[in-house]
Structure 1
């Protein structure tokens, strides 16, 4: 997956280490341990440490089962998505995999929750985003001054339906302006409501998945689930404690509750929608500092996102 552990890279390293360790203990005439064997052992050990009880259901029954488990009061349920062809929970398992002497130990949940309590949402997110953008622009200017002919990325835009590659000067201007907010945009005449429980659907067919896994977290406070799963802090995804802080803020203001969390997607459901355009626009800005791709690679403007928030009880976030 990602930065503080880019799972696919880390998984490859761990698979190789595990294969070497297992192979070294076997008689020289024994059959060699294959990468597939190592991957299965990696998954087995991660599953043994995974902190949620797993319950299998179907995509078309997932929300009803989630509600049933919530009402039972035996823990906090969360939909973890569908199983893949390897019957794996994917990168949800990465923090609990066997890291050996080269990997970081798991952060205690208590430490994550303590850090979450000190975060002011959304103010700290806004300041962090501003500081990060300013640092990136400052570094780019320094690199450009040291080497004016440095290679630049190829950026294309669509104008009148035709793709066009930016000139070098236009590319530099675009990169220097990359920290700017998205446009406000016009308020849309019609709005497509956000998808509901999107993680239980097969995006290729639009049909419910045949097998979906729900996790039951050992807590009566669902906002702690990102801490229990050590979820986040890769690419642009917030840290676990930042998810907890955002969830608690939205729970108190909008009655938000976490229904699903997969390797890269979160589905929240709210009890109260924003009531005015101004409130919806302010909320859209909170969503943007929490998950920029919802606009940058999604609806494109604050107004489009705000209109969607006024028309749906479901909030969708994803990080690639």
Structure 2
């Protein structure tokens, strides 16, 4: 696939040879089995569209160098050939990293609503956690939403360079399984991302376009048709990624209104 796409298996961008940190980055890159392309940020979405039309795998926009390093780390963090750990003869050996197929199989057993509520209760406690009711914003009060991983989060300017990888699947919902993405802090484990994204693809045509170290960007083909539907979806997204409300919209109403106004969804975990 790398030859077909003209993608080089290069070392992590910006890493100079010689130090322990650089050696670790080289090991992470060597363990990452998917081809990577690097393009100017303003061309990232166009390149993604070209690769997705071509077929032969699902493209993911990763963002810049720091995001690439975090994606590589998440992929290989449990790989003891990349991150050696001292052995203890009195303890069982560390398990091998799960394969994408093992993660995808685990996703098939997940009931999304119950699992999201369980994870939310685990993070915040089982006492009732109710958001205040907010005001429904006016259309001009809703900021425009689009792809974010191709831009500087502070200035909104396009990044000088953005990395993309191509995963060996045609289903964007599989992306978290192939990247072993998640399972840190309040971010769900990979199989939950897969199950949620499968549900949203069936209901809204949602597809994963970007995945940086802590952000997922999705694009949909159908928006919620009513305020009630949008609020129910916003509640589900809040359980999935509470930071978009608690550190963002503060109430569900602005999130729900945005879901009715935009084809882009944004999720972020700290």
TM-score range, shorter chain: 0.7 to 0.9
2:118 equivalent in structure 1: 127
Residue 131 of structure 2 corresponds to residue 182 of structure 1: yes
SS of residue matched to 1:205: coil
2:103 equivalent in structure 1: 112
- What TM-score comes out, normalization by structure 2 length? 0.84
CA shift, 1:36, in A, is: 6.5
CA distance in 2: counterparts of 1:134 and 1:91, whole angstroms: 29
Residue 39 of structure 2 corresponds to residue 57 of structure 1: yes
Aligned CA RMSD, in angstroms, stands at 1.9
Length, aligned pairs only: 241
2:149 corresponds to which of 186, 194, 199: 199
Greater shift after overlay, 236-245 or 220-229? 220-229
1:96 equivalent in structure 2: 76
Conserved 8 A contact 1:198-1:267: yes
CA distance in 2: counterparts of 1:298 and 1:47, whole angstroms: 34
SS of residue matched to 1:202: coil
CA shift, 1:104, in A, is: 5.2
SS of residue matched to 1:200: coil
CA shift, 1:132, in A, is: 5.0
Cα distance 1:115–1:210, how it changes in 2: closer, same or farther (>3 A)? same
- 1:14-70 CA-to-partner distances (Å, cap 9, x unmatched) read xxxxxxxxxxxxxxxxxxxxx961111101011011132101111111111100000
SS of residue matched to 1:100: coil
1:47 equivalent in structure 2: 29
Greater shift after overlay, 109-118 or 282-291? 109-118
Q: Structure 1 regions of 5+ residues with no counterpart?
A: 1-34, 138-178
CA shift, 1:194, in A, is: 4.7
Cα distance 1:104–1:192, how it changes in 2: closer, same or farther (>3 A)? farther
For 1:254-269, what aligned pairs fall within 5 Å after superposition? 254-269=204-219
SS of residue matched to 2:96: coil
Q: Structure 2 regions of 5+ residues with no counterpart?
A: 1-16, 87-93
SS of residue matched to 1:122: helix
Cα distance 1:64–1:310, how it changes in 2: closer, same or farther (>3 A)? same
SS of residue matched to 2:112: coil
SS of residue matched to 2:129: coil
For 1:126-275, what aligned pairs fall within 5 Å after superposition? 126-130=117-121, 133-134=124-125, 180-190=129-139, 191-275=141-225
CA shift, 1:93, in A, is: 1.4
Structure with higher Rg: it is 1
CA shift, 1:99, in A, is: 1.7
CA shift, 1:250, in A, is: 0.2
SS of residue matched to 2:59: strand
Runs in 1 of length 4+ with deviation above 4 angstroms? none
CA distance in 2: counterparts of 1:123 and 1:113, whole angstroms: 18
2:226 equivalent in structure 1: 276
CA distance in 2: counterparts of 1:209 and 1:37, whole angstroms: 27
CA shift, 1:260, in A, is: 0.1
